[in-house]
Amino acid sequence: MGSLSSVIGGQSGFYLGPNSTIDSRVRAKYQVHNSNFEIQSIFQKLKFNNLKYKAGDLPSHPTQTNPLPALTAGIVNQGLNNYVPVENATIFKNVISVSANGANTGVMFYQTRNFTVLQDAYAIDLIHKPKHIDKGYLFLVGALQKSVRFKFDWSNKAGWERIKTSVVTLPVHHNGSIAFDYMEAYIKELEAERIKELEAYLVATGLNDYVLSDEEKRIVSDFRNGGVRWSKFFLEDIFEIRNTTNIIKSQISNFQGGTPYVGASVKITVSVHTLIMTGSC
């Protein structure tokens, strides 16, 4: 199963609100309430050696001389798209990475494996780190993304000096201490619920009872062991690209009509039913 961080944490900032069944149940058990904190009061930016490599000159897969994943401002593979030598690199693990440039500025991931920082990104971690925290990081990333994601852009990049004064909402105990135990329990409950739902789906569809052929076992093994080759392609070589007639914003009414209109926004878009009916697009 894929990393739970891709579902809960940094990738999309997914977050179950306080009215969710799981949250209510776990919150009642641990007797917590929400409190607001400046990010810099809980997290610190981690120092690292500046590496002189250019991303375009580095391999996109590990090699004998370049085995260490390097962080850049991307979202594919959690921002770890290049590999560098270990020499002179500052190695991090079990910390939160932050993209600080481009269209993905402000995107965060919980990185559970060794990596270093290359460019246009940085890493943060708790100032006072509990001894036992793992899944709680996924909760933290979700809360951070709710505070930071989409508040920054190309002209207002999510560097540490900008995000550190942003406010993040976290659960606390009655004495004001951050409820890391609640975060761990919450994520474990959420993971268990998702697995239960998946198992029920597999049973309902008859996919829970299967036997892999030798060829299928080989394919799975190759994939897990890096035996599958990946290559890059121009989009126009594999997709048909269609242009449409320009639509003036003043011609569009929000949330009216039955046809969604795609624009340069991550928010719910409007409809152009009237324009389509009249043959204007």
Q: Which two tokens stand for residue 261?
A: 């209109």
| Residue 197 domain flag | no
pLDDT of amino acid 242: 81
Task: Please tell me what DSSP assigns to residue 166.
Answer: S
Which amino acid, residue 208? N
One domain, residues 242 and 113 = no
Task: Please tell me what DSSP assigns to residue 269.
Answer: P
What whole-number distance in Å separates Cα of residue 145 and Cα of residue 160? 14
| Residue 171 domain flag | yes
**What are the Cα distances from residue 269, in Å, to 254, 261, 266, 272?**
8, 6, 8, 10
Count the domains in the chain.
2
pLDDT of amino acid 131: 85
| Residue 79 domain flag | yes
Tens digit of pLDDT for each residue in 206-264? Answer: 888 778 899 999 998 988 888 888 888 888 889 988 877 777 767 777 666 677 777 66
pLDDT of amino acid 265: 58
Tens digit of pLDDT for each residue in 183-194? Answer: 999 999 999 999
Burial of residue 162 (CB within 10 Å: 0-12, 13-18, 19+) is: middle
Please say whether the beta carbons of 170 and 178 come within 8 A.
yes
Q: Which two tokens stand for residue 264?
A: 């340069």
| Residue 204 domain flag | no
**What are the Cα distances from residue 149, in Å, to 10, 94, 100, 103, 264?**
9, 21, 11, 11, 16
Strand, helix or coil for residue 200? helix
| Residue 216 domain flag | no
| Residue 29 domain flag | yes
Tell me the whole-structure pTM to 2 decimals.
0.70
| Residue 221 domain flag | no
Q: Residue written as tokens 């990010």?
A: 39
Angle between helices 136-148 and 180-205 (to 10 degrees): 100
pLDDT in tens, the chain (281 residues): 333 333 343 333 344 444 478 888 898 899 999 999 999 999 999 999 999 999 999 999 999 999 999 999 989 899 999 999 999 999 999 999 999 998 899 999 999 999 999 999 999 999 999 988 889 999 999 999 999 988 998 889 999 999 999 999 999 999 999 999 999 999 999 999 999 999 999 999 988 877 889 999 999 898 888 888 888 888 888 998 887 777 776 777 766 667 777 766 555 444 444 444 444 44
One domain, residues 184 and 243 = no
One domain, residues 14 and 130 = yes
One domain, residues 175 and 278 = no
Q: What share of the chain is helix, strand, coil (3-state, %, to 5)?
A: 35, 15, 50
pLDDT of amino acid 255: 66
pLDDT of amino acid 230: 82
Q: Are strands 116-117 and 68-71 parallel, antiparallel or unpaired?
A: parallel
Question: What is the CATH classification number for the domain harbouring 175?
Answer: 3.90.220.20
**What are the Cα distances from residue 106, in Å, to 66, 119, 150, 166?**
27, 14, 7, 12
Please enumerate in sequence order all residues whose Cβ is within 8 A of that of 136, keeping only pairs 6 or more positions apart, or say none.
130, 180, 183, 184, 187
Question: Which residue segment(s) compose the domain that 88 sits in?
Answer: 5-188
One domain, residues 86 and 154 = yes
One domain, residues 173 and 103 = yes
Of 253, 277, 26, nearest to 135 by C-alpha is 26
pLDDT of amino acid 9: 39
Please say whether the beta carbons of 9 and 153 come within 8 A.
no
End-of-domain residue from the set 157, 188, 219: 188
End-of-domain residue from the set 124, 157, 188: 188
pLDDT of amino acid 15: 44
Q: Residue written as tokens 């739902």?
A: 197
One domain, residues 162 and 272 = no
| Residues found in the chain | 281
| Residue 261 domain flag | yes
pLDDT of amino acid 211: 84
Max CA pair span of the chain: 64
Q: Residue written as tokens 């793992």?
A: 134
pLDDT of amino acid 264: 65
